[in-house]
């Protein structure tokens, strides 16, 4: 992603916000925060792999990326450093292979240099291994060492990498793994669950479970690399909510014409952000073309907003409120259409229909409370 492009827009937006009434500045800046965290602070998630050498590393990595990404020889690479593993155009992770027989001393520098986001204890088959107790012992030591280096307290996920076993065998092995993790207090306090990787549904669940535990700065990369549409749509909804709120507030300000460049820039950047979340490259230019293809008529929107502001001379506040609602409705509709097209895989004609329906529905939902207040005579 071209973070410099988003940084430039972010700086312009902050400068614009400082020109708004003081009461509006903090609410808008609060809405900017999650977007800043997602895009400006984006980084690969960091996983520490626990267990026995030769157990489950390839299956875990393949499940995350949805394809084979490890090169020959990388499956058992354990040199005590963070290994960056990625897929071109989709993102990357940082992995510290701390499976036995890696020594604690060899891992110390890596654990001190960068904190883990999540510990993953992998099992390679459904049989109880004689060495499993030693794996748990080492896992405890590594977790204690990592937490002594940083204030973070990462959680632990048990992953069962099984192949060719019956459903009953897999579930029995998962229960054994679950029980063993809860037999050690340090591990038990941090376990978020145990999950086999035997079906596509379980692989999808893996990405969702992990994403919940990751800090905001690492969630976007997780959504991109996993290709999990539900996760991508969830993150896109955060962006849409924030940008819609910002555009509504800006559109409601009595600053004729001055808001148009920032509104259109925000809407195009929102679409570019949704493209990026889906695994595409960040491109405001292509995003602007998509907005045009939707039929989002900037000229018509400008006439409506300025007409509403003119009405404010006769009915104070009402005209500006409608102007803000128009800006918000268009922004929300564009965001939902972009999600349908780039993440859900809908056609452009279907995305246009979503844009039209969502714009009307959002405006109606925003206007309804105001109508109710006018009927009851309460202040707007």
- Among 76-85, 94-103, 307-316, the least confident range: 307-316
- pLDDT score at 255: 55
Question: What domains are defined for the chain?
Answer: 3-41+226-376 (no CATH), 46-213 (3.40.50.300)
Write down the pLDDT at residue 69: 85
Check residues 32 and 365 and name the one with the higher pLDDT.
32
State the pLDDT at residue 163. 61
CA-closest candidate to residue 335, choices 244, 259, 230 = 244
Residue 331's nearest CA partner among 369, 368, 305 is 305
Model confidence over 118-134: pLDDT tens digits? 999 997 554 545 568 88
Q: How far is CA 295 from the centre of its chain?
A: 28
Report the pLDDT averaged over residues 193-200.
89
Contact (Cβ atoms closer than 8 angstroms) between residue 7 and residue 41: no
Tokens of 270: 């929102």
* Six-digit token string for 287: 């995003």
Give the residue among 112, 62, 105, 108 at the shortest CA–CA distance from 87.
Answer: 62
Least confident range from 49-63, 98-112, 355-369: namely 355-369
HEC string of 21-63 equals CHHHHHHHHHHHHHHHHHHCCCCCCEEEEEEECCCCHHHHHHH
- E-strand ranges in 177-328 read 191-196
Q: Look at residue 45 and tell me whether its pLDDT is greater than 90.
A: yes
Q: How buried is 318 (Cβ within 10 angstroms: 0-12 exposed, 13-18 middle, 19+ buried)?
A: middle
Task: Calculate mean pLDDT across residues 53-74.
Answer: 83
User: Under 8 Å CB-to-CB from 321, ≥6 apart: which residues?
Assistant: 252, 370, 380
Tokens of 219: 């969630």
**Residue whose tokens read 């990026």:** 276
d(CA 156, CA 45): 14
364-365-368 Cα angle (round to 5): 80
In this prediction, residue 378 has a pLDDT band, given cuts at 50, 70 and 90, of very low
Lowest mean pLDDT across 71-80, 127-136, 264-273, 291-300: 291-300
Geometric angle at alpha carbon 43, from 42 and 49, rounded to 5°: 145
Q: Report strand pairing: 191-196 vs 155-160.
A: parallel
Asked if 42 and 3 touch (Cβ cutoff 8 Å), the reply is yes
DSSP character for 214? S
174's tokens? 């998962």
pLDDT of residue 351: 93
Give the contacts of 50 (CB within 8 A, at least 6 positions apart): 98, 99, 119, 120, 121, 122, 135, 138, 139, 142, 156
């Amino acid at each position: 992603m071209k973070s410099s492009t988003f940084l430039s827009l972010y700086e312009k937006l902050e400068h614009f916000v400082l020109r708004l009434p003081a009461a509006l500045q903090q609410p808008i800046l609060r809405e900017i925060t999650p977007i800043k965290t997602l895009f400006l602070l984006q980084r690969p998630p960091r996983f520490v792999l626990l267990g026995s050498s030769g157990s489950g590393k390839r299956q875990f990595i393949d499940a995350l990326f949805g394809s084979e990404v490890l090169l020959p020889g990388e499956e058992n690479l354990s040199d005590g450093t963070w290994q960056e593993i990625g897929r071109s155009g989709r993102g990357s992770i940082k992995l510290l292979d701390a499976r036995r027989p890696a020594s604690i001393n060899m891992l110390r520098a890596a654990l001190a240099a960068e904190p883990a986001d999540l510990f993953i204890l992998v099992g390679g088959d459904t049989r109880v291994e004689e060495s499993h107790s030693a794996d748990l012992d080492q896992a405890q030591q590594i977790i204690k060492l990592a937490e002594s280096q940083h204030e973070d307290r990462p959680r632990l996920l048990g992953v069962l990498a099984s192949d060719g076993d019956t459903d009953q065998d897999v579930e029995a092995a998962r229960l054994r793994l679950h029980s063993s993790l809860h037999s050690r207090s340090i591990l038990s306090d941090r376990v978020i669950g145990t999950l086999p990787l035997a079906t596509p549904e379980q692989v999808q669940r893996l990405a969702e479970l992990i994403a919940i535990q990751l800090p905001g700065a690492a969630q976007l990369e997780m959504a991109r690399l996993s290709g999990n549409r539900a996760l991508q749509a969830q993150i896109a909804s955060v962006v849409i909510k924030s940008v819609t709120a910002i555009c509504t507030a800006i559109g409601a300000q009595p600053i004729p014409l001055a808001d148009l460049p920032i509104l259109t820039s925000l809407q195009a950047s929102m679409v570019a952000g949704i493209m990026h979340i889906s695994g595409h490259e960040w491109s405001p230019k292509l995003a602007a073309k998509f907005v045009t293809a939707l039929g989002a008529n900037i000229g018509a929107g400008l006439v409506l907003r300025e007409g509403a502001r003119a009405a404010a001379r006769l009915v104070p506040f009402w005209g500006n409120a409608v102007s803000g609602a128009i800006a918000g409705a268009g922004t929300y509709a564009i965001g939902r259409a972009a999600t349908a097209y780039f993440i859900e895989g809908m056609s452009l004609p279907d995305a246009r229909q979503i844009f039209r329906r969502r714009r009307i529905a959002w405006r109606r939902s925003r206007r309804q409370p105001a109508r109710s207040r006018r009927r009851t005579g309460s202040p707007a």
